[in-house]
């Protein structure tokens, strides 16, 4: 599943569309995780793309229409890549393939195209107040912003009995830290993934916050992780998987101590760690 770095890289790849006007919207298969709103071809027609933001793993595209000498925002489109989705920026003559379900064609002859073989992604209209949308309103802070700090994390964890890996993957606590980057951050912080969250000290929380931020920044700089489904909007792969300390390295030697990396199931997710380097 694409995580925060991959979604941010996708958002950045769409920036050439800013200030372009929608010429046409095509819905080939509206049966996604939630149905694609049937009104979008009419709602977005002749609308200008005013901004592209990210909240958690959602890309928020703000649209507006010209009114006199100004452009007035008309609403926000929410895009989510789901388990296997990707968004490409293509020439309008590039033919759609089997799993290409949604297009926005702009007046510069470029097309924003959503491909999603498993159809767990989403295209939703959030109106003028996207932060009040049910999928966004209860989310925790962004991990790369100042609000996510050791004091905040320590205060949130002191009543949680769940394993720390499950806790930091909870989007109500902090957004965008998925399975890959949770395993990598915990390794870097030298914290065992099964440690009860409430047992972490303030010093450990400070270390974990630092490593979550550093891991995500390193992933962004490497173009994200390309496993099976993620590529950038121009088709370029990410390279962060070449830097993994733990994720997906079962029985391979730890890069720090040479002991074999272990894999367990935790919260129905594969969890990778070094039992020598990461202690309770």
Q: Of the residues 3, 105, 184, 211, which is catalytic?
A: 3
Q: Of the residues 2, 5, 130, 193, which is catalytic?
A: 2
4 close to 143: Cβ distance less than 8 angstroms: yes
105 close to 30: Cβ distance less than 8 angstroms: no
Task: Establish whether 3 is a catalytic residue.
Answer: yes
Q: Which helix (H) or strand (E) is 213 found in, with range?
A: helix 202-221
E strands, the chain, where?
22-27, 48-55, 58-67, 70-80, 86-91, 100-106, 110-115, 122-127, 262-266, 269-273
State the CB neighbour count (10 A cutoff) for residue 91. Answer: 8
Q: Of the residues 55, 57, 188, 249, which is catalytic?
A: 57
Q: Residue 78 — φ and ψ, nearest 5°? A: -105, 130
State the CB neighbour count (10 A cutoff) for residue 124. Answer: 21
Cα end-to-end distance, the chain, whole Å: 28
Q: What is the DSSP letter of 198?
A: G
Q: Residue 190 — φ and ψ, nearest 5°? A: 60, 40
Task: Establish whether 37 is a catalytic residue.
Answer: no
Task: Establish whether 5 is a catalytic residue.
Answer: no
- Interatomic CA distance for residues 119 and 83, integer angstroms: 8
140 close to 121: Cβ distance less than 8 angstroms: no
- Interatomic CA distance for residues 168 and 82, integer angstroms: 19
Q: Which two tokens stand for residue 222?
A: 């490497």
Q: Largest Cα–Cα distance in the chain?
A: 68
Active site residues: 2-3, 57, 269
């Amino acid at each position: 599943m694409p995580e925060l770095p991959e979604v941010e890289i996708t958002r950045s790849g769409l920036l050439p569309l800013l200030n372009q006007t929608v010429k046409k919207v095509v819905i080939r298969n509206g049966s996604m995780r939630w149905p694609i709103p049937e009104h979008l071809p009419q709602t977005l027609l002749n609308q200008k793309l005013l901004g592209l933001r990210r909240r958690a793993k959602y890309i928020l595209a703000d649209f507006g229409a010209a009114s006199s000498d100004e452009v007035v925002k008309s609403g926000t489109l929410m895009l989510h890549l789901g388990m296997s989705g990707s968004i490409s920026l293509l020439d309008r003559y590039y033919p759609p393939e089997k799993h290409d379900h949604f297009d926005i064609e702009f007046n510069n002859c470029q097309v924003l195209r959503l491909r999603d073989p498993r159809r767990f992604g989403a295209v939703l209209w959030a109106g003028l107040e996207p932060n009040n949308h049910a999928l966004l309103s209860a989310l925790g802070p962004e991990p790369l912003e100042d609000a996510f700090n050791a004091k905040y994390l320590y205060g949130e964890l002191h009543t949680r009995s769940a394993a720390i890996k499950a806790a930091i993957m909870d989007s109500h606590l902090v957004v965008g830290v998925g399975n890959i980057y949770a395993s990598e951050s915990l390794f870097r912080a030298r914290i065992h993934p099964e440690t009860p969250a409430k047992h972490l000290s303030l010093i450990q929380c400070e270390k974990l916050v630092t490593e979550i931020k550093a891991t995500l920044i390193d992933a962004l700089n490497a173009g994200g992780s390309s496993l099976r489904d993620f590529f950038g909007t121009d088709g370029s792969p990410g390279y962060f998987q070449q830097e993994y300390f733990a994720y997906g390295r079962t029985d391979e030697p730890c890069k720090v101590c040479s002991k074999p990396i272990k894999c367990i199931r935790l919260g129905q997710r594969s969890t990778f760690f070094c039992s020598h380097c990461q202690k309770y």
